[in-house]
A and B are shown apart, each in its own frame.
Chain A
Amino acid sequence: MRLVRYTYPTYRSLAPAPGGFSRSPWSGLETEIDRLFESALGDLTGPADTRFAVDLYEDKDNTYVRAELPGVSRDDINVEMVEDYLTITAARKTPAVAGKGEESFSFSRSVSIPEAVQADKVVAAYENGVLTVTLPKREEAKPKKITVAVK
């Protein structure tokens, strides 16, 4: 079986690259070589995949952050809110196998939250390996309808 380290999908891998005119005939090859280097050098620097994908959503009342953190136990996840930065830290421990002790990988990511947040009402839930953090917006940040009387 072949072992290929795969990075998370990026806009390059998901969307077909704009073809034709603007790209040189080598750019496909360049992208492949870049990716090869990334994966080769990335492995050298230590535990693989210490980055995780984060999505940011909002509706009129809340901002939501979804982080893909498979295989982490709830106690090992830390979510902190400082000013308008949300920091998610997680540690994944692989169970001790004969010959090796317990290995522990930790990852951390900070996301800036666009709207003012009610910091004490932030909740987080972890399901199927995805952490969803709900950040309620402050009243003044919620979209409001302003009726303008026209004279």
Chain B
Amino acid sequence: MSLMNTLIPSLSRSPARGHAKAAADLGPTVKPAYEIKANDDAFGLTVQLPGVAKDGLDLTAEEGLFRVVGRRAWKQPEGWTALYRESADAPFELVLEYDNAIDVEKIHAELTDGVLRVSLPKAEAIKPRKIAVN
């Protein structure tokens, strides 16, 4: 049983706990637009987080869940009246399951102009490898 749980972390993860903890702190959140590309060595994740600066950004990887939380840096000034709104004030939240596929130590991320680019190197176990035939 514990072998199964190590191999497939999502089985041992209780469904309510991880989400409830984060959801309680943030309130309603918006899921940002994102894109994942993969090559042999890593996954490249690009997330659109307009209005988020470095201090509003939280990246966590635990229990097989990679979570991106971006709080918007701009507050509407006092005298402004909103005539028409399409964007929301809610923070961005993106949760991705990776289940042992990523080498968490080597995650590298940068945020420029509201675009977060994360490089998530693949764990050795899932990199494609050639097997020699005798």
Q: Does B9 contact A (CB under 8 A)?
A: no
Q: Tell me the nearest residue of chain A to B48, going by C-beta.
A: A70
Q: Does A129 lie within 8 Å of B49, measured CB to CB?
A: yes
Q: Does A128 lie within 8 Å of B53, measured CB to CB?
A: yes
Q: Does A57 lie within 8 Å of B73, measured CB to CB?
A: no
Q: Does B51 lie within 8 Å of A128, measured CB to CB?
A: yes
For A32-75 the 0/1 string (1 means CB < 8 A from B) is 00000000000000000100011111111001101011111100
B118 to chain A, nearest CB (A): 12
Q: Does A85 contact B (CB under 8 A)?
A: no
For B66-90 the 0/1 string (1 means CB < 8 A from A) is 0000000110110111111111101
Q: Does B86 lie within 8 Å of A55, measured CB to CB?
A: yes
Q: How far is the CA of A49 from the CA of B32 in the complex (A)?
A: 12
Q: Does B97 contact A (CB under 8 A)?
A: yes
Q: Does A130 contact B (CB under 8 A)?
A: yes
Q: Does B81 lie within 8 Å of A129, measured CB to CB?
A: no
Between A and B, how many residue pairs show CB distances below 8 Å? 97
**A residues in contact with B81, CB < 8 Å:** 57-59
Q: Does A28 contact B (CB under 8 A)?
A: no
Q: A70-B114, A128-B53 are in contact. Are A55 and B85 (CB under 8 A)?
A: yes
Q: Does B131 contact A (CB under 8 A)?
A: no
Q: Tell me the nearest residue of chain A to B37, going by C-beta.
A: A97
Q: Does A58 lie within 8 Å of B83, measured CB to CB?
A: yes
**A residues in contact with B86, CB < 8 Å:** 8-10, 53-55
**B residues in contact with A5, CB < 8 Å:** 33
Contact of A57 among B33, B43, B83, B112 (CB under 8 A): B83
**Interface residues, chain A, with chain B CB atoms under 8 Å away:** 1, 3-6, 8-10, 14, 49, 53-60, 63-64, 66, 68-73, 114, 126, 128-130
- What are 25 residue pairs bridging A and B, where the CB atoms are less than 8 Å apart in the complex? A3-B35, A3-B36, A6-B32, A9-B86, A10-B86, A53-B86, A55-B86, A57-B82, A58-B80, A58-B81, A59-B79, A60-B79, A66-B87, A69-B114, A70-B49, A73-B113, A126-B113, A128-B50, A128-B52, A128-B113, A128-B114, A129-B114, A130-B51, A130-B74, A130-B114
**Interface residues, chain B, with chain A CB atoms under 8 Å away:** 28, 30-33, 35-36, 43, 48-53, 73-74, 76-77, 79-88, 90, 96-98, 112-115
